[in-house]
Amino acid sequence: MTTGCVLDVLIYVYDHYMMSDSDELPGRQQLLCGLARRGFTEGEIAGAMEWLSVLAERCEQTSSVSTTDSRHALRVFAEGELWRLSDECRLFLTRLDRDGVLSLAQRELIIERTLALDVEEPSLDQLKWVVLLALSVQPAHADAFARFEALMAAERGIVRH
């Protein structure tokens, strides 16, 4: 699915670099040139690099925050969040909370990064990509990443052994 936005670049980076079997990641300049060769615009690339930079910064900040169980917390969405996040997206976030996939800090990070996408109303698929990206760059939370993968596999009817 392409969205014509920064998320397209992020998905490409995830698929081709973050999930790569290669132990060596390309340097920043090599990555930027590779993305430009793939047809991404300068604005999309710059936006994606800024988005990833903020994600990495926020992940560092949240790694020191307690991983308090969010299943007993009530999240009240602000008016701007209600306007931009569909009922479907908010229900999905609530489900991730209830199922213990996300800590409170991770949930807030995901909401903030989803709203930082260059789309007016992020779709559920776009939210899921943000969750995947956010959890995949937090090695200390590999269990949350595994729970999210299992949840997505179950949604698609895939049984893992």
Cα separation of 63 and 96, whole Å? 19
Cα separation of 130 and 133, whole Å? 5
Residue-by-residue pLDDT tens, the chain, 161 positions? 445 588 999 988 888 877 666 566 677 888 899 999 999 999 999 999 999 899 988 887 766 555 555 556 678 999 999 999 999 999 999 999 888 888 888 999 999 999 999 899 999 999 999 998 888 887 665 666 667 776 666 676 654 44
Q: Are 32 and 45 within 8 A, CB to CB?
A: yes
Burial environment of residue 137 by CB neighbours within 10 A (0 to 12, 13 to 18, 19 or more) = middle
Query: What pLDDT does 108 receive?
Result: 94
Non-local (6+) Cβ contacts of 137 within 8 A are: 18, 55, 56, 59
Query: What pLDDT does 97 receive?
Result: 87
Query: What pLDDT does 1 receive?
Result: 41
Cα separation of 125 and 129, whole Å? 6
Q: What's the farthest any 2 CA atoms get from each other in the chain?
A: 47
Q: What is the pTM of this model?
A: 0.80
Residue 109: count of CB within 10 angstroms of its CB? 24
